[in-house]
Amino acid sequence: MTKWLGAFMLECKNIGFYYNRSNWLFRNIHLSIERGEIIGIYGKSGSGKTTLAKIMANYLSPTEGEVLVDGEKSNHSEVYPVQLIWQHPEQAINPKWKLSKIFEEAKELDQDIPSILGIKEEWLNRRAHELSGGELQRFCIARAFHPDTRYIIADEITSMFDAITQAQIWHALIRLVKERNIGVLAISHHISLLERISDRIIDFNQLKGASEKSF
């Protein structure tokens, strides 16, 4: 890599984390994602992928190490440049809201995002329990494309849906990401899916294993 590219990366530097003091979940994780790049990551259930996703999107602080966004630590009060899309959209949307409010929440969203994601006008007046998971997930994805977003972490975002929905969602997501030069970390158990969407695939256990000796 040329040196200047280093400034446009989401970097995990020597990340370590435990929930329980006596038991490191992982240590010495090094990972970097460039703008515009899609990285797929898979690994055993319970190995800590979601935890790493939360650390990268600033939901959790790493026990050791640091996450750098384009070379710097981001501040907390602004829109965070790394947005996490969750596995269960029905938990990611306030059940009392009409869905139009999602667009109010992510207020400066580009006009064309809803149509690219296949969001229908008539869904806007409904509440979360009146839509299917696949339909809801499109809103969660749309919301993640705030103009300030530079990286997206997609944690099993389509694993609940059928193949067609899965394909539609990823098709739209890849288009949006490429247009906006956003870096993506896609977490999934479906290696075949990852092969189709990713520029590069990482085995999370290997990522962990690479550092195991230094425990």
Partner 1 sequence: MKNQYLSIDFDSTNYKRRILWKIIGLVCLFLLVALSGFWIGEEQIEANMGEKHLSPSLDHPFGTDWLGRDMFFRTLLGLHLSWKVGLFAAVISTVIALTLSLLSSINKFFDSLVTMLIDLFLSIPHLVALILIAFVLGGGVKGIVIGIAFTHWPSLTRVLRAEILQIKSSEYVHISKKLGKSRMWIIRHHYLPQLAPQLFVGFILLFPHAILHESAITFLGFGLSPEQPAIGIILSEAMKYLTMGMWWLVVFPGLSLFGMVVIFDALGNNLRKLLNPN
Kindly state whether residue 174 participates in binding ligand ATP, applying the rule CB under 6 A: no
Residue with nearest beta carbon to ligand ATP = 50
Between β-strands 64-69 and 82-85, what pairing exists: parallel, antiparallel or unpaired? unpaired
Using CA atoms, how far apart are residues 48 and 138, in angstroms rounded to an integer?
25
47 binds, among ligand ATP, partner 1, Mg ion, none (CB under 5 to 8 A by kind): ligand ATP
Among the listed ranges 47-55, 67-75, 125-133, 167-175, the one in contact with Mg ion (CB under 5 A) is 47-55
Residues 6+ apart with CB under 8 A from 22: none
Q: Given candidates 8, 18, 24, 59, which one binds partner 1 under the rule CB under 8 A?
A: 59
If binding is defined by CB under 5 A, does position 50 make contact with Mg ion?
A: yes
127 binds partner 1 (CB under 8 A): yes
Tell me which of 1, 45, 72, 129 binds partner 1, using CB under 8 A: 129
Q: Which does 129 bind (CB under 5 to 8 A by kind): ligand ATP, Mg ion, partner 1, none?
A: partner 1
Evaluate whether 17 touches 63 at the Cβ level (below 8 Å): yes
**Closer residue to Mg ion in complex, CB, 176/197:** 197
Please name which of 136, 139, 141 lies closest in space to residue 154, comparing C-alpha atoms.
141
**What's the burial of 103, exposed, middle or buried (CB within 10 Å: 0-12/13-18/19+)?**
middle
Cβ atoms of 122 and 101 closer than 8 Å: no
Which of ligand ATP, Mg ion, partner 1, none does residue 66 bind to, with CB < 5 to 8 Å depending on kind?
none
DSSP state of 6: G
For residue 24, give every residue at least 6 positions away whose Cβ sits within 8 Å of its Cβ, in sequence order, or none.
16, 17, 18, 63, 215
The 27-66 contact track toward ligand ATP, x by CB under 6 A, reads ----------------x-xxxxxxx---------------
Distance CA 129, CA 127 (A): 6
**Cβ proximity of 88 and 155 under 8 Å:** no
Contact pick of 8, 18, 65, 90 for partner 1 (by CB under 8 A): 90
Q: Looking at residues 144 to 203 of the shown chain, list those that interact with partner 1 (rule: CB under 8 A).
A: 146, 148
Residue of 105, 110, 167, 202 that binds partner 1 (CB under 8 A) = 105
CB of 52 to partner 1, least distance (A): 16
Residue ranges in contact with Mg ion by CB under 5 A: 50
